[in-house]
Amino acid sequence: MDIKMEVAVFGGGCFWCTEAIFQELRGVISVTSGYAGGSMEAPHYEAVSSGSTGHAEVIKIEFDPQIISYRDLLEVFFSTHDPTTLNRQGANVGTQYRSLIFYTSDEQKIIAGKYIQELADTKIFDHGIITELKPLEQFYTAEEHHQDYYAKNTEAPYCQIVINPKLEKLREKHSKLLKE
């Protein structure tokens, strides 16, 4: 029996944070930090950080849709970052930290569009959702030292101050989706 994996690509601020969050979910096979959405071919961290490439820090999630749905991933995405602030997540400021969803199929585009509308209709956020919804054209894998950053640096101040509270929120709100 072949398991058909799917790919989801999200940008929700610093990729160290989003990577750590999605690695905790059952049905997620892999999470890769990278860059997408810009014009520069083969971008690197320094160029993306300058804000001149148009790329955002994103994660590519490979998941088993028989274990976790794309909608579940969207629920986690929207509950673990602020989709109402333009080009900013906490202290991270710049277009590389914008909120976006790169869909990899028409089905993902429809599901994400409907979910964003649901959130807007329920007025769960105090401000309007500015998350961009775009087709994935190209994903560039980030440098090796950005991969599994939290797992390799759990005691680092950034991990303690920024990532740990996001993980606590994930565990509180989405315990049913966590790996055993």
> Which pLDDT tens digit goes with each residue over 118-147?
999 999 999 999 999 999 999 999 999 999
Q: Which of 8, 14, 28, 74 is catalytic?
A: 14
Segments forming the whole domain that contains residue 154: 6-175
112 in Cβ contact with 143 (< 8 Å): no
Distance CA 102, CA 105 (A): 9
> Which pLDDT tens digit goes with each residue over 18-31?
999 999 999 999 99
Select from 160, 54, 73, 64 the least CA-distant residue to 112.
73
Within a domain: 1: no
159 assigned to active site: no
> Which pLDDT tens digit goes with each residue over 13-66?
999 999 999 999 999 999 999 999 999 999 999 999 999 999 999 999 999 999
Distance CA 87, CA 7 (A): 24
Q: Looking at residue 138, which CATH number applies to its domain?
A: 3.30.1060.10
For residue 137, the model assigns a pLDDT of 96
Structure tokens at 73: 């991933």
For the chain, the domain total comes to: 1
